[in-house]
Structure 1
Amino acid sequence: MAVYFSIFLVIVTAITGIIWLADKFYLAPQRQLKLAATQAQCEGELSDDVVDKILDAPYFIDTPVQIFPVIAFVLILRSFIYEPFQIPSGSMMPTLLDGDFILVNKFNYGLRDPVLRNKFIEVGLPERGDVVVFKYPQNPQIDYIKRVVGLPGDRVIYKNKILYIKPACLPSDEKCPDFEQVEQTFKNKTDYNDQGMPLTRYTSTMGEKTHDLLVNEQILPRIQHYFKQGGTQANEFAVPQGHYFVMGDNRDNSLDGRFWGFVPEENLVGEAVAIWMSFDFDREPDSFLPRWIPTSVRFSRIGGIE
């Protein structure tokens, strides 16, 4: 859907832009010439109504001319700087909740054209711990949001609900790094639950970034459904060059890289940087109001994303 909207936005911008240029450099000067010719044929000054009638563009010209700057601004903002998204599920709880509306920075990972998404300016690449929006590799029409766990060349193991990462060996390394456990400390039992089973909250640190995650202690790892990759253990993932390994913060309720593999760099949309609005939709089952009508605004959630 987002791709179709981008195409529609580009087409509308192009059409209104062409009309704006035609009016500025040809149609408007022609109206001025017509006004001058009419004035020359009259002995007195033309009334304001007559002048306005001659100079005013017809509605099918004036409307595109008026909306072109707005449409062009929206296209530039949405395509190259920030794009709004809505969180549709709980896979990133507790960092992001269903009903959160977020801003995604599209500049951080390089500028791409809004239709074919070919990168034309290099800016930067994701860092471990970033929350990213990307095109789902198995269906690029769908946008997913997860946290970057593995960078190109890394090896990642998820064992006993704990992450172990072996960073890529760089040419400058005198000795290649070994697997290191990602710091994960117990925080508290929560009110969050998965089909009635309570979830435990942990705080995890990746480099300089700290975030909270949820774990269902009563669910065994679904290793039999993990992405199969030659040369690795069943719970190990070797990140190819140009790809990223991502996971949801709601560890046991997230369809992420453990089950379908890796995110190609060209599928990245941008980094989720802020929650600009958050709605609660909780209501009694017998409520006559539709589910999509918010019950309250969660002002406390508005702000930056860790």
Structure 2
Amino acid sequence: MISPLLILILAGYWKLFEKAGRPGWEALIPVYQLYIMLKLSQRPLWLLLLLAIPGINFIISVGILIDFIKSFGKVGIGQITMSVLLPFVFIPKWGFDKSTRYVGPSASENFREKYRNLDKSPAREWAEAILFAVIAAMVIRGLFMEAFTIPTSSMESSLMVGDFLFVSKINYGARLPMTPIAFPFAHHTMPLTGTKAYWDGIKLPYYRLPGFGEVKKGDVVVFNYPMDADSPFYRPVDKQENYIKRCQGSPGDTLKLEYGQVYVNNQPMPTPPNAEMEYLVHTDGLAGIFSPGTLYDLHLEDVQQYTRADFTVNTTVLSAEKLKSYPHIKTVKPDIKLRGVYDPEVFPHDAHFRWNEDNLGPIIIPRKGWTVKLDSMTMPFYRRAIEVYENNKVQVKGNSILINGSRANSYTFKMDYYWMMGDNRHNSEDSRFWGFVPEDHIVGKAVFVWMSWDTNAPSWCKIRWDRVLRGIN
């Protein structure tokens, strides 16, 4: 499903393209749309090459938009600002406004003579445009929308490696910078040098602007990886690595997994239709290794052969059902761990709880204002939240628990927490391994995929057209 805001923007571009004598459908094709906008403003087409550079691509996109709307006579600072900050309002407004017309390429000499101060040199105009684009891009990226890419398979096949998506900051409310002194558009590490892109000598308290709503179960959420607070990185919250997972548990929920099925408050949670997991494949011994075509068509990953007749593969339920119909395939069934088989890597990393990635819980997810009794059975679950996320000094001396030097038998949480899991259940590092995600780590909600690139596609065209401009459910 395409975002309603994106539909408004595309409808506006369609009408503006038509006003400039171009077919409206050209506005719907990613990248090609920007190519046409450059032609209409007479800016150099080589700027498209800069779209491949992270961070720079955002500035270039904003600059192309500014030049484009100037070509329709929108040269006022207020008009430029609103087109960048509220494109879903002003792009369709001007597109359907009968008085708005294409007045010529904004980069042409005739346009400058008509609309610009003649004392400004082209170099000064470019410098001002770049400065405005940087500032506008930083505001948009920090408060409204940010572009992300999917680098790993932990959310497949809901989100694919090579998906380029937009994450909304306004759905949950934008989080104001907590580490304000940082290099623009570099998250935590400088490109090329590999040095820190921020200075943590100044830290601001956590504050979030009002949003449209709260994180809900089933939302696909981008958040900061909580374990980056530890060695070797010791990163501030807003400079920790960005992760993307699906929210499976909200503050105050009781969550458990039984043979891979998630239950929240004793109710089964729906499994995402494109979720993946590991399957045991038993053949008649004549199948051999799967062909490249079969691997690609059924999206079979991490294929491991254990005997002549037995394999494990990672794939979706739908692909597993299709695989059953293939010649030589005897059985295909989920590779689910048994209850009681202890995995020390699974949260809370305590042998008293003989849990694994398919069987764990019940766990109560902390919420703001909830008071938990502290003892040897609850401390494995909540010590990190109390100590690391809520900045308390915790000591355990024998049977006594001290918080900030005072003996404590209970603790009241200051923040809400969430339980996040990847849709690729047997190939995801998530809350099953490191526990809760605090509310101050939430970055935003993934809303739609604007481009998808499949490097493994057998054809020359690597674009997954069925995923372009696709909403995220």
**Smaller-chain TM-score bracket:** 0.5 to 0.7
Residue identity (%)? 33
Count of aligned pairs: 227
Partner of 1:48: none
Contact between 1:281 and 1:295, CA under 8 Å: does it hold in 2? no
Secondary structure of 2:347's counterpart equals coil
1:180 partnered with 2:242? no
Letter in 2 for 1:300: D
Q: Matched residues in 2 for 1:184 and 1:277: separation?
A: 25
CA deviations on 1:121-174 (whole Å, 9 max, x unpaired) are 2223200000000100011521100000000111110110111111xxxxxxxx
Contact between 2:176 and 2:209, CA under 8 Å: does it hold in 1? no
Partner of 1:289: none
Partner of 1:84: 147
Per the TM alignment, residue 80 of structure 1 is displaced from its structure 2 partner at its CA by 1.1
How well do the aligned residues superpose, as a CA RMSD in angstroms? 3.7
- Pick the aligned partner of 2:335 from 191, 209, 218: 218
Q: Matched residues in 1 for 2:333 and 2:245: separation?
A: 18
Structure 1's 147 and 141: CA in aligned 2 closer, same or farther, altered over 3 A? same
Partner of 2:455: 281
Q: Matched residues in 2 for 1:96 and 1:270: separation?
A: 16
Q: Matched residues in 1 for 2:152 and 2:250: separation?
A: 25
- Pick the aligned partner of 1:156 from 245, 255, 269: 255
Structure 1's 122 and 116: CA in aligned 2 closer, same or farther, altered over 3 A? farther
Per the TM alignment, residue 283 of structure 1 is displaced from its structure 2 partner at its CA by 6.4
Per the TM alignment, residue 216 of structure 1 is displaced from its structure 2 partner at its CA by 7.6
Letter in 2 for 1:266: D
Structure 1's 58 and 143: CA in aligned 2 closer, same or farther, altered over 3 A? same
Structure 1's 128 and 296: CA in aligned 2 closer, same or farther, altered over 3 A? same
Contact between 2:226 and 2:240, CA under 8 Å: does it hold in 1? no
Letter in 1 for 2:313: P
Per the TM alignment, residue 183 of structure 1 is displaced from its structure 2 partner at its CA by 4.0
Secondary structure of 2:136's counterpart equals helix
- Pick the aligned partner of 1:107 from 135, 148, 170: 170
Contact between 2:223 and 2:243, CA under 8 Å: does it hold in 1? yes
Structure 1's 186 and 137: CA in aligned 2 closer, same or farther, altered over 3 A? closer
Contact between 1:200 and 1:216, CA under 8 Å: does it hold in 2? no
Contact between 2:171 and 2:445, CA under 8 Å: does it hold in 1? yes
Per the TM alignment, residue 182 of structure 1 is displaced from its structure 2 partner at its CA by 2.2
Q: Matched residues in 2 for 1:141 and 1:238: separation?
A: 25
1:305 partnered with 2:368? no
Note the 1:234-245 alignment, pairs <5 A: 234=355, 235-236=360-361, 237-241=363-367, 242-245=416-419
Partner of 2:73: none
CA deviations on 1:209-242 (whole Å, 9 max, x unpaired) are xxxxxx9812526751211189977411321121
Question: Larger % of strand: which?
Answer: 1
After TM superposition, the score normalised by the length of structure 2 is 0.42
Note the 1:56-135 alignment, pairs <5 A: 56=120, 64-114=127-177, 116=179, 118-123=206-211, 124-135=213-224
CA deviations on 1:232-255 (whole Å, 9 max, x unpaired) are 774113211211000000111110
Contact between 1:99 and 1:278, CA under 8 Å: does it hold in 2? yes
Letter in 2 for 1:161: G
Secondary structure of 2:348's counterpart equals coil
In structure 2, stretches of 5+ residues that fail to align are 1-54, 60-115, 181-205, 229-238, 280-296, 304-311, 319-331, 368-415
Contact between 1:219 and 1:252, CA under 8 Å: does it hold in 2? no
CA deviations on 1:46-85 (whole Å, 9 max, x unpaired) are xxxxxx9x944795x6654332222222112111111110
Letter in 2 for 1:154: D
- Pick the aligned partner of 1:263 from 437, 440, 446: 437
Letter in 2 for 1:107: I
Q: Matched residues in 2 for 1:300 and 1:82: separation?
A: 23
Secondary structure of 1:73's counterpart equals helix
Contact between 2:418 and 2:438, CA under 8 Å: does it hold in 1? yes
Structure of greater relative contact order (alpha carbons < 8 Å, 6+ residues apart):
1
Secondary structure of 2:453's counterpart equals strand
In structure 1, stretches of 5+ residues that fail to align are 10-51, 167-178, 204-214, 285-293
Partner of 1:47: none
Partner of 1:191: 298
- Pick the aligned partner of 2:227 from 121, 138, 145: 138
Q: Matched residues in 2 for 1:223 and 1:229: separation?
A: 9
Secondary structure of 1:132's counterpart equals strand
